[in-house]
Amino acid sequence: MFERLHRIEKFIFDVLALALVLFYAYSALLQPASTEYHRGIYILITYILVFLLYRSQNPLMRLADYLLVALSVFSIGYWILNFEAINYRVGAETELDTIVAVIGVLLGIEIARRVVGNVFVFIGGLMLVYGVYGAHAPELFAHAGDSFPNLCTSIFYKSDGVFGIMANVLATYIVLFVIFGAFLEKSGAKQFFIDFPLAAFGHRTGGPAKVAVIASGLFGSISGSAIANTASTGAFTIPMMKKAGFRPHIAGGIEPAASIGGMFMPPIMGAGGFIMAELTGVSYAVIMQVAVGPALLYFFSVYLMVHFEAKKRGLTGERYGESALAILKQGWYYTLPIVVITVFMFLGYSPGYAAVLGLLSCIAVSWMRKETRIGFRAFREAARSGTENSLLIGSTVGVIGIIIGVLNYSGLVLTFADIIIELARGQLFLTILFIAIASLVLGMGVPVTAAYLITAVVAVPALTYLGVNLIAAHMIVYWLSQDSNITPPVCIAAFTGAAIAKADMWKTAFSAFKFAKFLYLAPFLFGYVPGFSLNGSWSDIVITFLVCMAGTWLYSWLLSGLWFGKRQDVL
């Protein structure tokens, strides 16, 4: 019976995943829907799919899952059908409005618990307690507080709550790019992104590790997740590095250090770039322009660290069977989907429109080889894979809505900047350091994109008050939000690399921390060097990046220990 039920659930999952892809494709290309409908439909489908995919094993609890699906349809469906009317009667909500809001807020916490874990339950619960009992908080954080139903009403219906900026960016842009990444991988592009750097750099000093850096940059620019990047490209590159003579924990550390660079590299930049565009009010094309130089410097830094590590150990690669030029001639068309997306976004088209065109180009290039052709079955599998990948971040919408809603409701957003500035005594260096610590702690319990959004809401005002321009301030927070991927004690991407390498997780984590040192240097460059975020004349910007390249080389060489002779480092 349960096996048959499982097949029915799988069928429903596939149908909803296909419906999600087709709805967004139709909406982006032919009939734009309002962002409210986008948000409502995306959250509704996400909630249903989470309860189907992360289902309970106990038969009685399975019944509870179906009840929760029904409540999701009721609460989110109510919002979709009535959001205009609710906006008109804001402040005078009906009793039914309040009941729906309470159900919706509690469902958001349960969704996050199933996908992300109990940490989100604690954070969401703590913020709700703070929202209700704010009058009893220490004076610095105190506010009037309110009843639980009224607080839920504010969180569920106001524009800074559950259906706020995170839901808007997720539903409008991010889900499409996550699905695009799944279709690009299905088209066979992933193998090209590994084979080309392997042929070009595999025979050089430390060649396999350099391949890991470049392949992670290529694949990471469209994967949207450092952990997924580590797991997918690392399955190939980490054994290759070990075979070339890299110690297991070093091989396991290089891959996640390279993988997080994909979060900074256009055209997709994970999910944070789209949130940044929404928060700053500038076009995503501008965000890409500012991001590309620092991202390339990051990969340059990791590449140099790998080179010096290999040189110190005397590690060389081996020549690939085919030349890089031959592989490029055979598979150049795999770059077309990324080119399509980048060109159309620079031409001023919406990211969603560009993503759909990129998805269609993935289907087109897949037909260049018989074994990679995306027919109906492959289309369904790619849609399912992309939708599953989007659930990890989509499941956090409810709790992020609670956090940001309560922060705005309590007025803490307005006072937090003053708190940071006061603690840092008005010094930019200390302010950036405090933000790094805050994002690291927050990143231990929430996905990095959520950590960026939450930290940005409260920390960017402090940076802009100290004279940092708006985009540079967001870049500081965004770069630092990635540190929990490779910075101990909780660093999931590094632990993923350790599992693949079969290495000690702590040695691997500290190795990743070592190879990713530019991650901690770039925020200070954004803060102190205007040219680093493209502020100033072209000559200033060019000089800035030339100096940064020279500094990166020196910085990497000093950290490598080569200047001290070929000593064995502690890792």
Q: pLDDT at position 569, please?
A: 44
The whole-number pLDDT of residue 107 equals 94
Let me know: does 486 contact 509? Beta carbons within 8 Å. yes
- pTM equals 0.79
Question: Among 231, 235, 240, 236, which Cα is nearest to 259's?
Answer: 231
Predicted pLDDT of residue 208 = 81
pLDDT for res 361: 92
pLDDT at 537: 86
Long-range CB contacts (within 8 A, 24+) of 31-39: 35/168, 35/171, 35/172, 36/80, 36/83, 36/163, 37/80, 38/168, 38/171, 38/172, 39/163, 39/167, 39/168, 39/171, 39/172
Predicted local confidence at residue 223, as pLDDT: 66
Select from 57, 58, 463, 5 the least CA-distant residue to 279.
463
pLDDT value at residue 67: 92
Please, how many CA atoms are within 13 Å of residue 42, restricted to the half-sphere of its CB? 34
pLDDT tens for the chain, 571 residues long, are 567 777 888 888 888 888 888 887 777 776 665 567 778 888 898 899 898 888 877 777 788 888 999 999 999 999 988 888 888 887 788 899 999 999 999 999 999 888 877 877 888 899 999 999 988 888 878 888 889 999 999 999 887 788 887 787 777 777 787 788 888 888 888 778 778 887 887 777 777 888 888 887 777 777 667 777 787 778 778 888 888 888 999 999 998 888 888 888 887 787 788 889 888 988 888 998 999 999 999 999 998 888 888 888 787 766 667 778 888 888 888 888 888 888 888 887 877 788 888 889 999 999 988 888 898 889 988 888 888 888 877 888 888 888 888 888 887 766 776 777 778 888 899 999 988 888 877 776 567 777 888 888 888 988 998 899 999 999 999 999 888 778 776 677 888 888 888 888 888 888 888 888 889 899 999 999 999 999 888 888 999 999 989 988 888 887 766 665 544 443 4
Joined tokens for residue 124? 């969401």
> Position 291: which residue type?
A
Could you tell me the CA-to-CA distances from 513 to 231, 276, 295, 521 in Å, in that order?
18, 25, 17, 12
Say if residues 466 and 435 touch (Cβ distance below 8 Å): no
* pLDDT, tens digit (0-9, with 9 covering 90-100), for 493-519: 888 888 888 888 888 888 888 888 889
Tokens 């599998």 sit at which residue?
381
The per-residue DSSP string of 154-187 comes to HHHHSTTSTTSHHHHHIIIIIHHHHHHHHHHHHT
